Amino acid sequence: MPSLIDVENLTLKFRTDEGLVTAVENVSFSLQSGEIMGLVGESGSGKSVTAKALMHLNASNSVYGEESRITLHTDGGPVDVLSLKNAADLKVVRGGAISMIFQEPMASFAPSIRIGTQMVEQLQLHSDKSKAQAREIAVEMLDRVGISDPSTRIDQYAFELSGGMRQRAMIAMALSTKPRLLIADEPTTALDVTIQAQVLDLMKDLVKEFGMGIIFITHDLGVVAQTADKVSVMYLGKLIEEGPVREVIRGAKHPYTRGLLAALPRLDDLDAPLTPVPGDIPSPLERPGGCVFNTRCGDVIGDACTATVPLEQWVDPTHRVSCHLYDGKRKSGGA
Amino acid sequence: MSGKALISTEGLSVGYRVGKGPFSKSVLKAVDNVSIKIEKRSFFGLVGESGSGKTTLGRALLNAAPITSGSARYDDGEVSYNLTDIDKAQLADYRKRAQLIFQDPYAALSPRMTVRDIIAEPLEVMKITSGRAETDERVREIAARCRLNLEHLRRFPHAFSGGQRQRISIARALVARPQFIVADESVAALDVSIQADVLNLLKSLQADMGLTFLFISHDLSVVAHTCDYVAVMYLGRLVETAPTRQLFAAPKHPYTKALFSAIPSLDPDDQGRAQRLEGEIPSPTNQPTGCKFHTRCPHATDLCRSQEPVMEAVQPAHEVACHRWRELA
Amino acid sequence: MSANSTPISDPPENLRAREAYFTASQHQLIWARFKKQRAALVAAMVLVVLIIAGLFAPFLSPYDPTMAGRNKDYLNGAPNVPMFCDKNGCSVRPFLHTIERERSIKTNFRWVEKINDDKRRYVQFFVTGSEFRLLGLVPMKTHLFGVDEGRIHLFGTDASGKDIFSRTLHAIWTSLQVGTIGVLISFVLALIIGGVSGYYGGVIDSTLQMLTDAVRTVPTIPLFMAIAAFIPQEWTSEMRFFFISTVLGFIYWPTLARRVRTHLLSERHQEYVLAAQLCGASSGHVIRRHLLPSFTSYIIVDLVITFPYMVLLETALSFIGLGLTDPVNSLGVMLQNVTSADVLLNYQWYFIPVIFFITLVMAFVFVGDGLSKAANPYADTNK
C-alpha cells in the first residue's frame, strides 16, 4: 500500500513568556491509506500538537525544528506541508486532502449558520461543484453517517442536534471532500458510551468504504484496541513506542506503556488492583534530560537513562520502542 | 442487604419546572421513582449516561435539587433526618455529615484562595472549629491524608495538576469529617494513571475514616473496580441494581447488557458488535411511554410500550425493572 | 505545572522563582504580567508623573492660575522659553530676555514690544510667590521656579494675562478630581444595582435591567443643557464643580452596572461557589469570599477605562459652556476661547494644554488595556 503521509523528525517548540517550550521532539511515523493509527498519550504528551502540525495549524508562536519534514502524498505529487506558507497552498491540505474532526462537535459548526450551509460552503471551496450539486452530496453524506431524515436535518442548526448526531454530522462534513487523511482528535471522548460505540463502528465502516487513512487521537486505550490497526504512544513530546495494536496491547515493551495498561481498570479481572504510574507528568518547562520518562520509570538502569536519549530499536519488523532496556547489547530478559 | 442503611430512598422523584413564563406547569422529571438503600461504609456505584438523572439524584440527597415526591432518609445511628422535610437546624447539621466531590478539578477550586483557605472553608462556614489554631490543625491533618504537604497549603490552585487539584477537592470534602460522600464523576476528567491514583486514595480514605460513598460515574470499568454495589439508571429510572460481581457476571436488563458491550474492550479481537444499541437517548422532556427503554430495546413488545415495569427481585439484593428479564436470560 | 517532580539538583534560584510563582496570589500574578508589557508600563509611569504634576500643581506653577495671578502687561503673550546661551555667552542657570514695552508718539501711542537681549532675567528655583495650600493642607508660599524680575510664562498667556502653564497644571488636577468623583459615584451605583441584579437574577434582574436601559438612553447634551439652566447663579464654582461631577457619575453608571452584572452572573455559577453553598454558606459569605474578590481585578480595569470617558465628557461639556466655568480651571474651560480665528492664526500656544490631555487620556487607555490583558491573558488570540 502506498504511504499516505510521512512525518520525519518533527520537532516543535513554542515561544512563551517562560522561554522556548518543547512540545514535540523528534517524532517520526508514516501512515498508509486505509490504515487507522491510534495516537495515544496523556495530557501534555503532545499528541494534539502533532496532529495539528500535519495541517500546519499550530499557533504563530510555534517554531519547527530544522530537520522536521511532513510529506503528504497527494494525487498531484508529494507536498511538503511545513513549507507551505500562503493560504492558497494550504487550502489544498486543509479540508481538502486532510480533514480534521474534534472532540467538541460545536467547535466545527458555527452556531448561527445552518449545517447545510456550512457543508455546502466547504464542498464548494474544495471542488468546483455547483450549489445544488454540493447540497446533494451533503445530504448523501448525512445519510451515509446514519442521520435519519437527512434532507430535513441539513437545514437545522448545530444546537438542534444531540451530541451523537452532531458528531456524525461533523464526520459527514469532514468526509464530504473525500480527504485522503482524516485526523480525529478525541472525537468520542465527550459522547456517551453507547453512542461512542455507534460512532466508532461508523468510522471503521467508512474507512473500508472510502479507503482513507485515519489518525485517531485518544487517551482511551480501549477505543484504540477496538479501532486502530497500529498504536503510537507518546509521552512528553516523544514517540516512545509504536507497533501493531495486538502486539503493543498484549506485549507492551516500554515501561510507560506497560504502566498505562496496568493502571486501566479491566473488566476481565475485577480483583486486580489499580496500579498508577508513580509520580506526576513533569511540566513541559522542566523536561527531564536523557530519557523523558526516567523520573517515573521503575526500570531505570543506571546512568544511561538519565544521561542519553534512547535510540529507537526495532524489536520486531513493525514494532519499535525508545528505551534503554532494548539497546542492542543490554537486552534484559522478560521484556 | 444485611447492613444498616445510611441513606434510603423510597419512590424518590426530583423534578424541575420547565417552559416559558413563571406559570408553566410542565415538569421535567430528572429522577423518577427511585428506591435505593446505601449501606453504611459501602461504596455504592450509580451508573448511567446523559439524561439518566444520576447527578440529580446525588444532588437531591444533599438537598441541592428539588425533591417533588417520595422520601429519603439519612440515618447514621446518631441522628436520623427525613431529607424531604428537614428544618434549618437539622440541615445545618446534615451538611457536616454529607459532602460532595466535584467532577472538574479546574472549576471546583477558587483561583483566588490558597489551598489552606480552600480546605478550611467548610470548617469556617459551618463553625466546626473555634479559632485559627484548631482550624489549621484539622487542615493539616486532612491534607496529610490526601498526600498534600505543608508547602502545598500555602500555594494557589494554579500551581497544581489535575490530579493534585482533585486531591485538594477531596480534602475539602473530608475536612469536616462527614459520614457520607457523593463523588460526582470525580475521576472522569483525569488521565488514566492519575485516575487510578485518586481511586486508590478514595478507597484507603474510606477504610481509614469509615466513609460511605455514592460513586456517580458513566465509566463502568471504574465502577466495577471500586464499588460494592451498583445501580444502573436510564432516563431518570432505576433499571437494575445488584452487587458488583453479580451485575458484571450476569446482567439481566437489556440496557445493562448493551452498556457492557459498548465498553471498548482492551482485547482487539473481542468485537462485541452483537449488542449495539440503535438510536439516541430520548430527551428527558419527551419521555417514551411505558418502559422508558423500549425505543432502543431490541426485545421490545407491546407490553413494554404501554406499561412501565417495576423492580423485581432476581435474587436477594439483585433487582431489575424489565418485563422480559426471565425470557432474555 | 507539577509541584512534585522537581529534580533535586535544581539551582536554588529556580526553586525560589518556582515557589514564588506557586504562592503568588491572583493580584501578584496580574501585576507580574502587567509589568511585562512595555507600553503599559511606560503609560503607567507617564500617568504617575501627570498625577503628581496635578497634585502638586500649586507648587509647580509659578503663578496663581486665576485672575488674581494674571499678568496685565502681557496679554496673549507668546511662550517664554528659557535659554542657556545667547550672543553674550553661556550660563549654567537658564535665563530669559526681557521684553520691554514702550509707547510714544513714534509708535502712534500703541504699545510696541521690543526684546532687550542684554538684560537677562535668571530663572530662580524655590521662589517665594503667592500663597497657596499644598495638598489643600499646608500653607506655603514657595513655588518651584520663577524669575528674579518680571514673569516667566512657559506656555504663554491668554487673553486676560493668565499664565497658561499654571492653568494647565491646575486643569489636570481638576480633571482628575472630576473624573475620580464621577467614577466613584458611578461605581457605587453600579455595584449596588448591578450587584443585586447579577446576584439574585430572575424578576429582580429583569426589572433592574429595564431601569438601567432606560437611564442609558437619556441623551447627554440635552440633559446637561437642562441642568445648566437649572443651576442657580448663586452657587460658587466649587459647588458647581461637585454638582457636575456627581451628574457625570449618574450618567455613566448604567455601563458599569451592566459589566458588574455580567461578571456576577458568570461567577455565581462557578462550582466553587456551589461548594461553599453546600456547606451552608450565607449569601454574605459567598459574596464576600468568592464573588467580590473574583471581579475586583475586572472592575479595576473597568474603572481605569471609564476614567478617560469622564474626562472627555467633562471637557466636551465645559467647552460648549455647559460644564465648569471660570475660575475653576479645566481643559474644557481653557478651550472655550479657542474657536476664534484670531487665536487660531496668532496665538497657537493656546493649544499646548491639548497635548497634555491627549497624553493623560492615552495613558489611561494604555494602562487600562495593559491591566485587562494582564487580568485576562487568554482573551487575546494572535492569529
Do A192 and B192 count as a contact with CB atoms less than 8 A apart? no
Do A288 and C383 count as a contact with CB atoms less than 8 A apart? no
Go through chain B and tell me how many residues it has.
Answer: 329
pLDDT of res. C379: 44
For A145-192, where are the alpha helices, taking DSSP H only? 150-153, 163-175
Neighbours of chain A (3+ CB pairs under 8 A): B, C
Q: Does A283 touch chain C (CB under 8 A)?
A: yes
How far C273 CA lies from chain B's nearest CA (Å)?
Answer: 8
ipTM: 0.80
Q: Which residues of B280-313 are buried (b: 16+ CB within 10 A; e: fewer)?
A: bbbebeebbebbbbbbbbeebeeebeeebbebee
**Residue in chain B nearest C26 by alpha carbon:** B112
Residues of B in contact with C1 (CB under 8 A): 158-161
Cβ-nearest to C5 among A17, A61, A295:
A295
What's the rounded Cα separation, in Å, for the pair B76 and B223? 24
Do C114 and C257 have their domain in common?
A: no
Do C183 and C323 have their domain in common?
A: yes
Residue with cell 470617558: C309
| Phi, then psi, of C121 in degrees rounded to 5 | -120, 120
Residue C357: inside a domain, yes or no?
Answer: yes
User: What is the number of CB-based contacts under 8 A between chain A and chain B?
Assistant: 127
Q: Which of A295, A312, A306 has its CA nearest to residue A254?
A: A312
Q: What is the mean pLDDT of residues C234-260?
A: 80
**Residue in chain B nearest C286 by alpha carbon:** B125
Cβ-nearest to B112 among C26, C274, C278:
C26
How far A209 CA lies from chain B's nearest CA (Å)?
Answer: 18
pLDDT of res. C111: 67
Do C205 and C104 have their domain in common?
A: no
Mutate to test the interface with B, among C278, C288, C291 (most CBs of B within 10 A): C278
Q: Average pLDDT over chain C, rounded to whole?
A: 78
pLDDT of res. A308: 86
Do C145 and C234 have their domain in common?
A: no
pLDDT tens digits for B306-328? 888 988 888 888 999 998 888 88
Do A226 and B264 count as a contact with CB atoms less than 8 A apart? yes
pLDDT of res. C5: 40
pLDDT of res. C380: 39
pLDDT tens digits for A270-302? 888 888 888 878 877 778 888 888 888 888 887
- Residue C12: is the preceding peptide bond cis (ω within 30°)? no
Do A60 and C6 count as a contact with CB atoms less than 8 A apart? no
Radius of gyration, alpha carbons of chain B: 21
pLDDT of res. B181: 94
Q: What is the mean pLDDT of residues C353-362?
A: 88
pLDDT tens digits for C117-159? 777 777 778 877 777 777 777 787 778 877 777 777 888 888 7
Residues of A in contact with B220 (CB under 8 A): 193, 267
Do C133 and C180 have their domain in common?
A: no
Split at pLDDT 50, 70, 90, the class of A242 is: very high
For C126-281, where are the alpha helices, taking DSSP H only? 164-200, 202-216, 220-230, 237-268, 271-278
- pLDDT at B274 > cutoff 70: no
Give the three-state DSSP class for B16.
strand
Please report, for chain B, the start and end positions of each structural domain, with discontinuous segments joined by +: 5-320
User: What is the number of CB-based contacts under 8 A between chain B and chain C?
Assistant: 81
Q: For chain C, which residues lie within 8 Å of any Cβ of chain A, measuring from their own Cβ?
A: 1-2, 4-7, 36, 382-383
How far C28 CA lies from chain A's nearest CA (Å)?
Answer: 16
Cβ-nearest to C1 among A283, A288, A296:
A283
Beta bridge partners, B319, equal: B241, B313
Grid cell locating A255: 515501561
Do C383 and A17 count as a contact with CB atoms less than 8 A apart? no
Do A267 and B162 count as a contact with CB atoms less than 8 A apart? no
More confident site: C71 or B22: C71
**Residue in chain B nearest C19 by alpha carbon:** B155
pLDDT tens digits for B207-219? 999 999 999 998 8
Cβ-nearest to B49 among A193, A264, A277:
A193
Q: Average pLDDT over chain B, rounded to whole?
A: 87
pLDDT of res. C13: 66
**Cβ count near C56 (within 10 Å):** 15
Q: Which CATH class is domain B5-320?
A: alpha beta
**Residue in chain A nearest B50 by alpha carbon:** A192
Split at pLDDT 50, 70, 90, the class of A330 is: very low
Residues of C in contact with A295 (CB under 8 A): 5, 7
Grid cell locating C123: 530663572
Residues of A in contact with C1 (CB under 8 A): 283
What's the rounded Cα separation, in Å, for the pair C147 and C163? 14
How far B301 CA lies from chain A's nearest CA (Å)?
Answer: 22
- Give long-range contacts, CB 8 A cutoff, 24+ apart: A73-80: A73/A2, A73/A3, A73/A4, A73/A5, A73/A6, A74/A180
Residue C190: inside a domain, yes or no?
Answer: yes
Neighbours of chain C (3+ CB pairs under 8 A): A, B
pLDDT tens digits for C270-317? 888 888 888 888 888 887 788 777 777 777 788 888 888 888 888 887
Residue C85: inside a domain, yes or no?
Answer: yes
Residue C128 gets which letter from DSSP?
Answer: E
Choosing from C138, C160, C182, the residue where a domain stops is C160
Do C238 and C364 have their domain in common?
A: yes
pLDDT of res. B180: 94
- pLDDT at C113 > cutoff 90: no
Residue C260: inside a domain, yes or no?
Answer: yes
Residues of C in contact with B160 (CB under 8 A): 1-3
Mutate to test the interface with C, among A15, A42, A60, A283 (most CBs of C within 10 A): A283
Do C131 and C260 have their domain in common?
A: no
pLDDT tens digits for A294-322? 888 888 887 888 888 888 888 888 899 98
- pLDDT at C12 > cutoff 70: no
Grid cell locating C158: 491668554
Q: Does A279 touch chain C (CB under 8 A)?
A: yes
Residue C38: inside a domain, yes or no?
Answer: no
| Phi, then psi, of B240 in degrees rounded to 5 | -160, 140
- Residue C286 near residue C223, CB atoms below 8 Å: no
What's the rounded Cα separation, in Å, for the pair B68 and B33? 10
Q: What is the mean pLDDT of residues B117-132?
A: 89
Q: Residue C320 belongs to a domain with what CATH number? A: 1.10.3720.10
Give me the percent of chain B exceeding a pLDDT of 70.
95
Q: Does A282 touch chain C (CB under 8 A)?
A: yes
Residue with cell 474532526: A101
Choosing from C160, C190, C208, the residue where a domain stops is C160
How far B126 CA lies from chain C's nearest CA (Å)?
Answer: 7
pLDDT of res. A335: 40
Do C235 and C316 have their domain in common?
A: yes
Give me the percent of chain A exceeding a pLDDT of 90.
13
pLDDT of res. B329: 67
Residue with cell 476528567: B189
**Residue in chain A nearest B296 by alpha carbon:** A194
Q: Average pLDDT over chain A, rounded to whole?
A: 84
More confident site: B244 or A105: B244
- pLDDT at A268 > cutoff 90: no
Split at pLDDT 50, 70, 90, the class of B24 is: low
Cβ-nearest to B99 among C21, C272, C278:
C278
Residues of B in contact with C17 (CB under 8 A): none
Q: What is the mean pLDDT of residues C34-51?
A: 88
Do C88 and C117 have their domain in common?
A: yes
- pLDDT at A89 > cutoff 80: no
pLDDT of res. C175: 84
Residues of C in contact with B99 (CB under 8 A): 278-279
Do C156 and C189 have their domain in common?
A: no
Split at pLDDT 50, 70, 90, the class of B182 is: very high
**CA distance to A45, A324, C71, per residue, from A300 (Å):** 20, 9, 88
What's the rounded Cα separation, in Å, for the pair A310 and A298? 16
**Residue in chain B nearest A250 by alpha carbon:** B267
Choosing from C160, C183, C211, the residue where a domain stops is C160
Do C116 and C136 have their domain in common?
A: yes
Residue C127: inside a domain, yes or no?
Answer: yes
Q: Among residues 204-233 of chain C, which lie with CB inside 8 Å of chain B?
A: none
How far C292 CA lies from chain A's nearest CA (Å)?
Answer: 29
Residues of B in contact with A219 (CB under 8 A): 191-192
For chain B, where are the alpha helices, taking DSSP H only? 54-61, 88-97, 115-125, 132-145, 150-153, 162-174, 192-209, 220-226, 244-249, 254-262, 302-306
Tell me which residue range forms the domain holding C336.
167-375
- pLDDT at A196 > cutoff 60: yes
Do C2 and B164 count as a contact with CB atoms less than 8 A apart? yes
Angle between helices A163-175 and A131-144 (to 10 degrees): 130
pTM score, whole prediction: 0.78
pLDDT of res. A217: 92
Give the three-state DSSP class for B106.
coil
Do C3 and B121 count as a contact with CB atoms less than 8 A apart? no
Domain tally, chain C: 2
Residue C61: inside a domain, yes or no?
Answer: no
More confident site: A215 or B22: A215
Q: Does A200 touch chain B (CB under 8 A)?
A: yes
